[in-house]
Amino acid sequence: MGAKSPGNLPSWVQTVHAMAAEPACHVRAICWTCDGHKDIDLQALAAKVDENYSLIDRRSPCRFTDGCEGWVRFMYLFGVYRHLESYERREIWAARDAGRNTDQRAIGQTRSTAC
């Protein structure tokens, strides 16, 4: 999946390779459910992915804590950590998360693979 077109993010976060080329760039994976987090080694990741690979609008199931049912989101440091999300996707995820949380409580589930 290539770079997105988010007008709200700087050009140097559009791809992993662009971030790896920026010496001051720091990216963190964070799970809001278990509060787990990990700094991403951009050089190592860039060596594994193609030049257009982007962390923008990506989520993955949490693996920080055994049994955590949360989702990991990626953030970049620009004064403070900021979400690697486009405005459009942020609104979609907010609506999905609100619906998922309500639906999952009703049926006793905590994780969906819909994302």
Predicted confidence band at 79 (pLDDT cuts at 50, 70, 90)? Answer: confident
Give me the residues paired with residue 71 across strands: 61
Dist CA 106 CA 89 (whole Å): 25
Give the three-class secondary structure for 83: strand
> What token pair was written down for 64?
């920080």
Judge whether 96 and 88 are in contact, CB under 8 Å.
no
Predicted confidence band at 6 (pLDDT cuts at 50, 70, 90)? Answer: low
The residues, ordered by sequence, that sit 6+ positions from 49 with a Cβ below 8 Å of its Cβ are 16, 17
Dist CA 62 CA 57 (whole Å): 16
Q: Phi and psi for 96 in degrees, rounded to 5?
A: -65, -45
Checking if the pLDDT of 115 tops 50, the result is no
Summarised one tens digit per residue, pLDDT across range 21-74 is 998 899 999 998 899 999 999 999 999 999 999 999 998 899 999 999 888 999
Dist CA 111 CA 100 (whole Å): 8
